[in-house]
Amino acid sequence: MAERLQKILSQAGVASRRAAEKLIAEGRVTVNGELVTEPGSKADLSRDRIAVDGREIQGEEEKVYFLLNKPKGYISTARDERGRKTVLDLLAEVPERIYPIGRLDNATEGLLLLTNDGELMNALLHPKYEVHKTYLARLRGIPTEAELGRLREGIALEDGMTAPARARLVEQSPERNESRVEIIIHEGRNRQVRRMCSAIGHEVTALKRTEFAGLSLSGTARGHYRRLTDTELAHLKTLAGMRL
């Protein structure tokens, strides 16, 4: 049965539907050897040859789920035209075609989930589920309670007002004029935590995501990864409104 191309790519674990639309628009997808650039195009995986970057996709792969403790210096994409290191370089032994759920910028470290389950990826990134992400930010200077209050109320950024965050001062060092603040958000805007802190007058000098959707980095060293447990996966699916 013919279906939208971005749906087929998502179900095959190639990328989320939004990311699949971008792959199509960038001219990286072919159907029966013909370039397709319209996201609304349809195909039938049972009879059409669909390829991404020249690599033909098959039916649905076995679903796999990983938690990575991302170091700085890696970008959260499947590939990079500029030749920079990507998070997939850290999971080179994984045979399945996996993709990160959301992104951490090059200078940010911490918890990142990767999977080929497009349905779960889409759900966890959907704003309606308000999946919480916890960050530990090292700031230049020490924010006042009033400044932290602005984060809790929502900050006006160039792309609109943020949702209220949870924010608390974890550590302060007056002699070094720096502090550490824990910030919990459920949005996923580009460089959001850095921009929020900048808006209250404090530059982020180091940033780490310590939790995502209730999962933590406990027991996973920087640069290492592990498979999710059945209990963790069930938790994520429940959070995303999916059947177990």
Catalytic residues: 105
Looking only at the bridges linking them, the beta strands covering 29-31 and 50-52 are antiparallel
Spatial neighbors of 156 by CB under 8 A, at least 6 apart, are 162, 199
> Residue 184 — φ and ψ, nearest 5°?
-120, 125
107, 207 contact by CB (below 8 A) = yes
Distances (CA, A) of 13 to 118, 160, 237: 5, 32, 16
Separation between Cα atoms, residue 136 and residue 131, nearest integer Å: 17
Which strands, in side-by-side order, build the sheet including 29-31?
A: 34-35, 29-31, 50-52, 55-56
- Number of Cα atoms under 13 Å in the Cβ half of residue 159: 10
